[in-house]
Each structure stands twice: as structure tokens, then as C-alpha cells.
Amino acid sequence: MRVGRIPYVNCYPVYGALDRGVVPLAAELVDGVPTALNRMMAEGALDVSVVSAVEYARAWERYLLLPDLAISCDGPVRSVMLFSTRAAPELGAAKVLVSRSSMTAVHLLELLFEHVWKAKPEFVRGDAEASDLRRSGADDCAARLVIGDAALMLTAGAIPAPYAFVYDLGAQWKEWTGLPFVFAVWVAQRTANTREALAVHAALIESRDWGLAHLDLLAAQAHERTGVPLAACLEYLSGLDYGLSYPHLGGLTEFYRRLTLAGKVTPARIAFLPAA
């Protein structure tokens, strides 16, 4: 089995015990940013992977969700952020740089601009690398969507950047809908061996549970890697949810409903990996 892993801090609680050998995994771990893992799953190069929530909606016919496993927030997420030189409602016709590495974040941003901020900016595909984040006025984009560790570093002040307005997309979704937001889910190919996929799922759940019991250790690892203050790393990891409860499914299906109405995806069905 080949299992996809996003090498961002937000995945530490799920993979930390696997990386340390605390929980055995009879599979090969393959690292990639969200869009890379989405592509590898679509091509059949991975058997099980974390993927963006939009990737499941886009190709639900070929995937099964792994139960009780996701990356979610019920309010601020702190690592999916819009940094802007002016208020979001004033960004009409302005250029907004959006990350190429997360379909879900981009679609969420599009919905917020249409329904909450009532503005129609020009979205420009690109990436906000850590080395580039200090340059507020170095290009002609008035705002930029930053995700993952780079967003966490900016939010916590590990990288200084002169942006006057900062929007946490998880918090904006919660304020708009009153629901949690699911950024990523774990899926298996429908063609994957069910017994082997269930074994991977069990290992991921056991590793997740170990990670949630050792957030202080994982926060120290995140601090060492990113330079973000230890307290901020612990606050970040503690603020995320790695399950997939009924409230989270409610937020996920509401996101899918709005994407369907916007013509971004076709109607999706939620289907889970069955027990053996």
C-alpha cells in the first residue's frame, strides 16, 4: 500500500506516531502538497491518502472516506489566511494571489468574496513562499492567500510582513455559517484491497490518538521546524480537530452544497470505507 502524507505541521498529530515507530504501518508513506496528493490519487498512484475536501467532491465516485479522520476547525484555523493591503470588501477588481497547493482553500475564498465580502477580485494563481512573504508591495497583487506552515509563520509573527488586514478563513466560515469547516479528509481508492485499507485506517487512527495525547511533543517539533513560538504551535495544534463527527459532516456537506450551487462541483455522495 502507498499512503499519502502532507508534510505540514497540521498533519503531525496523525503521522507523528508512525514517524517515530510507535505505531507500525505496513505501507509506504509518500509526501506531497495537497494538490500533488490529489493528483496522485486521481492517477491511481496512491491507495490511501489525505486529500483536500474539494478533491473528494470532485471525484467521489472513485473514493471512499475513512471514518472519523479529517483536518477540521470550528472557528480560527490559523494556517489558511488571506493577507491584504486593504479590507476584503474593497478588493473588487484588485489582483489576489491564490495558492496553487490547495483547491479547498481557493474555493472557500471564492465563496467568501462572493457571499460575505461582496467583491469580485481577479484571482492570480501562484504561491506565497516563506522567502517572499515580506514583500507586501513587491508585486501588483493587493492580497494573497497563504496556507500551511507559511501562513502559520506569518500569523504568529515568525515572519514579519506589513499587511494591514488579515482574515482567517476558518473563522470567516464559522461567522458566516455557524458550522465547522473541513479542509482535508482521508480517502481510499474504491479499488483498493478492503482489508489492507482498513489496516491502514486503524494505524492512522491509533497514530492520531497518540498524537493528540502528545501535542506538547509535536508542538516542540513544529517550533523547531518553523521558528513559530512554542506556545503558538501548541495553540495551533490544539485548535484543530482530527475527527469527522456529525457537526463536521454538517459543515462539509454545506460546503459541498454551496460549491454545487456555484457550479464548482457536481452533486457528491458521502460514502465511507466499509468494515470488513
Alpha helices in the chain (DSSP H): 12-19, 34-42, 53-58, 103-112, 148-155, 169-177, 194-213, 215-226, 230-239, 246-261
Residue whose entry in the numeric block shows the C-alpha cell 493528483: 39
Instruction: Decide if 6 contacts 38 (C-beta within 8 A).
Output: no
The gap from C-alpha 204 to its chain's centroid, in whole angstroms, comes to 17
Residue 136: what pLDDT? Answer: 44
Q: Ramachandran region of residue 116, left (φ > 0), alpha (ψ -120 to 50) or beta? A: alpha
Residue 166: pLDDT band (50, 70, 90) is very high
pLDDT recorded at residue 131: 45
**Which among 112, 118, 253 has a CA at the least distance from the CA of 176?**
112
Instruction: Dump pLDDT digits (tens) for 257-275.
Output: 999 999 999 998 999 998 6
Determine the Cα–Cα distance for residues 198 and 201; give it in Å rounded to an integer. 5
Lowest-confidence region among 61-65, 194-198, 207-211, 226-230: 226-230
Residue 256, pLDDT above cutoff 50: yes
pLDDT given for residue 163 in this prediction: 85
